[in-house]
């Protein structure tokens, strides 16, 4: 099903051909921001005017004379040469009837499906998952849902950081400073504590530093005891992560940690050397890419150890060979920009024909506009934060609807609290550093999850008041301004959703859903549904039904759940 913008572009092409102006220039037709300029607008005549060195208004007039719009609405020339389109109530009603019958609400599956691996969340073992990881987790999940919905074959992979030099200190700390009783109550905190203790001791005492190094070497050589301790750290941490993913309602297809690639690393380095892509420098193996940086990409350290660069190179190979990846998207903070540039450049020089993208994001700030920290200066642990979100939402839900059962209140609070945190992330441009504010994100007014969830609940409550379920009539006839405005917004969904992938911006979907809900509120205020005369009532009920389906689809794609009551 072509979108409204595509239908208009088609008509525009026809008119251009008919007026001998046909051009291979892509024609843009987009919804207008201001309803005074109609519903859609194109600058085609201005683009052409520039190219043909002709007056754009004259060209626009010429195009208009050949434009067939009678079944769609009307068009007019405006300003320096815009063409404005107005959709007729009849056209809007017909389109909406079509969308109402389509369970995908008009969104077509891509005709060029790709296998896309999305690498996101990827926290590190023996460290707490902190607020920085929430951005990756929430963004990655939303992008995965949307990409999948658009018809691509999506594979999600949580690339856990489960290998690295810090394990020397963790294991040393485990052997000398561990308090096993703490391991049961709060394992990750205990792992952090023993690491810190070992680190502090190593700084004071060279012997201890050497001891830590020895532990690392033993781990890398596969010594039994150290492997066992490492495995326990991995298990304890992943159990903790799993609790967070459960709270967030997020799952991964794979969770292959860095260590998974260990057996491949010597071969990868060997190949890079043989193919002349890497060289030995001061005992290390490095890849140079001076166009990117004066710092090398370190493939093997001078002590023989492998690092982040090596694993990531092996990971590309694995994803391409075993999963047939055609694209790999990494949702990782902006500070890792150079790492990914170097990695992608090497990946391409290795001959992998895969579309590699670093989907970066900014920081979350505290109310003081600095990086969000706890009072003691640590980064804020994620689980505590999510639990606080649910707790705060409980108070709001209890006040808003005291009649909910205990069980309902619990489940609604989880949806509202977690939804609020997710939405505050997804409604921002991902590069924006944003201030984490409970008050703002949990408000029932403004661009927030609770506002959208409330719009949904309000709409669904209409259906609960019906004496009998509505029969799905397929012929809505829209007349009122507020009905038409809501309908026009609904018709834009198939245009909006694919645009999210253009620049990886779920905030486009979020702000669309917000505008949509604002239109719904406008409609709800000015158009009575249940008390309207039968035919009008049927139309309005259908409109409510498609609105609520759309809002649910959209929010679910963002990873946000919707309660039926709140
Ligand atoms: N573990 C890393 C971190 O917390 C992120 C890993 C991202 N993925 C990757 N393939 N490098 O910073």
Nearby residues of 55 by Cβ (< 8 Å), 6 or more positions away = 49, 81
Look at residues 169, 191, 187, 123 and name the one whose alpha carbon lies nearest to residue 382. Answer: 123
Look at residues 245, 13, 221 and name the one whose alpha carbon lies nearest to residue 121. Answer: 245
10 Å Cβ neighbour count for 69?
Answer: 17
Nearby residues of 40 by Cβ (< 8 Å), 6 or more positions away = 4, 5, 8, 29, 30, 31, 32, 84, 85, 87
Asked if 399 and 467 touch (Cβ cutoff 8 Å), the reply is no
Q: Domains in the chain, ordered, with CATH?
A: 4-87 (3.30.1360.70), 164-249 (no CATH)
What pLDDT, on the 0 to 100 scale, is given for residue 367?
83
CA of 51 from ligand 1 middle (Å) equals: 47
SS3 state of residue 466:
coil
SS3 state of residue 365:
strand
Pocket test for ligand 1, best of 159, 259, 261, 311 (most atoms within 8 A of CB): 159
C-alpha neighbours within 13 Å on the C-beta side of residue 147: 25
CA of 339 from ligand 1 middle (Å) equals: 10
- 132 in contact with ligand 1, CB cutoff 6 A: no
Question: Rounded to the nearest 5 degrees, what angle is found at the Cα of 230, between the Cα atoms of 228 and 234?
Answer: 115
CA of 425 from ligand 1 middle (Å) equals: 19
What pLDDT, on the 0 to 100 scale, is given for residue 467?
77
Q: Which residues of the chain have pLDDT under 50?
A: none
CA of 133 from ligand 1 middle (Å) equals: 10
Look at residues 562, 501, 540 and name the one whose alpha carbon lies nearest to residue 107. Answer: 501
Helix runs in 150-186, H state only: 166-177, 180-185
CA of 525 from ligand 1 middle (Å) equals: 48
pLDDT in tens, 73-121: 999 999 999 999 999 999 999 999 999 999 999 999 999 999 999 999 9
What pTM was estimated for this model as a whole? 0.95
What pLDDT, on the 0 to 100 scale, is given for residue 53?
92
pLDDT in tens, 27-65: 889 999 898 999 999 999 999 999 889 999 999 999 999
Ligand 1: atom nearest CA of 315 is 10
Pocket test for ligand 1, best of 306, 312, 332 (most atoms within 8 A of CB): 332
- Rounded Cα distance, 494 and 82, in Å: 24
Nearby residues of 115 by Cβ (< 8 Å), 6 or more positions away = 152, 153, 155, 323, 324, 325, 326, 327
What pLDDT, on the 0 to 100 scale, is given for residue 471?
65
Pocket test for ligand 1, best of 118, 310, 336 (most atoms within 8 A of CB): 336
Q: Encode 34-66 in three state secondary structure.
A: CHHHCCEEECHHHHHHHHHCCCHHHHHHHHHHH
- Rounded Cα distance, 417 and 389, in Å: 5
Asked if 112 and 323 touch (Cβ cutoff 8 Å), the reply is no
Ligand 1: atom nearest CA of 340 is 11
């Amino acid at each position: 099903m072509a979108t409204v913008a595509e239908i208009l572009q088609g008509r525009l092409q026809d008119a251009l051909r008919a007026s001998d102006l046909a051009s291979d220039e892509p024609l843009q037709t987009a919804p207008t921001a201001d309803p005074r300029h109609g519903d859609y607008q194109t600058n085609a005549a201005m683009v052409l005017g520039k190219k043909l060195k002709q007056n754009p208004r004259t060209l626009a007039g010429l195009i208009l004379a050949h434009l067939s719009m009678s079944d769609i609405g009307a068009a007019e020339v405006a300003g320096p040469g815009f063409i404005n389109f107005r959709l007729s109530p009849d056209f809007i009603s017909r389109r909406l009837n079509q969308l109402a019958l389509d369970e995908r609400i008009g969104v077509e599956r891509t005709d060029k499906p790709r296998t896309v691996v999305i690498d996101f969340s990827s926290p590190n073992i023996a460290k707490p998952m902190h607020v920085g990881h929430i951005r990756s987790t929430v963004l990655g999940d939303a992008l995965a849902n949307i990409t999948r919905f658009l018809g691509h074959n999506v594979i999600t992979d949580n690339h856990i950081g489960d290998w690295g030099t810090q394990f020397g200190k963790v294991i040393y700390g485990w052997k000398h400073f561990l308090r096993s009783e703490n391991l049961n109550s709060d394992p990750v905190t205990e792992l952090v504590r023993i690491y810190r203790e070992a680190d502090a001791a190593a700084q004071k005492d060279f012997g201890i530093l050497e001891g830590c190094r020895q532990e690392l070497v033993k781990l890398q050589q596969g010594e039994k005891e150290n492997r066992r301790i490492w495995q326990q750290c991995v298990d304890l941490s992943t159990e903790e992560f799993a609790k967070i993913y459960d709270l967030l309602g997020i799952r991964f297809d794979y969770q292959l940690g860095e260590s998974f690639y260990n057996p491949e690393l010597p071969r990868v380095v060997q190949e890079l050397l043989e193919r002349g892509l890497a060289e030995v420098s001061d005992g290390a193996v490095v890849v140079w890419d001076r166009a990117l940086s004066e710092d090398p990409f370190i493939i093997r350290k001078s002590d023989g150890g492998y690092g982040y660069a090596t694993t990531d190179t092996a990971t590309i190979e694995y994803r391409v060979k075993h999963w047939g990846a055609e694209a790999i998207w990494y949702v990782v903070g902006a500070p890792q920009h150079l790492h990914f540039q170097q990695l992608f450049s090497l990946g391409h020089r290795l001959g992998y024909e895969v579309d590699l993208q670093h989907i970066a994001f900014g920081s979350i700030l505290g109310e003081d506009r600095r990086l969000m920290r706890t009072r003691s200066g640590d980064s804020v642990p994620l689980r505590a934060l999510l639990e606080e979100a649910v707790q705060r939402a409980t108070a709001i839900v209890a006040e808003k609807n005291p009649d909910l059962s205990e069980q309902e209140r619990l489940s609604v609070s989880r949806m509202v609290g977690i939804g609020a945190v997710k939405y505050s992330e997804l409604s921002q441009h991902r590069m924006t550093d944003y201030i984490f504010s409970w008050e703002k994100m949990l408000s029932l007014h403004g661009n927030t999850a609770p506002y959208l969830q409330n719009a949904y609940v309000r709409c669904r409550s209409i259906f609960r008041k019906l004496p009998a379920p509505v029969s799905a009539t397929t012929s809505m006839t829209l007349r009122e301004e507020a009905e038409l405005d809501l309908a026009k917004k609904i018709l834009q969904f198939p245009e909006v959703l694919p645009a999210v992938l253009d620049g990886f911006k779920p905030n486009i979907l979020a702000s669309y859903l917000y505008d949509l809900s604002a239109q719904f509120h406008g409609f709800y205020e000015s158009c009575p549904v249940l008390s309207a005369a039968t035919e009008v009532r049927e139309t309005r009920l259908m409109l409510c039904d498609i609105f609520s389906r759309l809002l649910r689809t959209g929010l679910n794609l963002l990873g946000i759940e919707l309660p039926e009551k709140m």
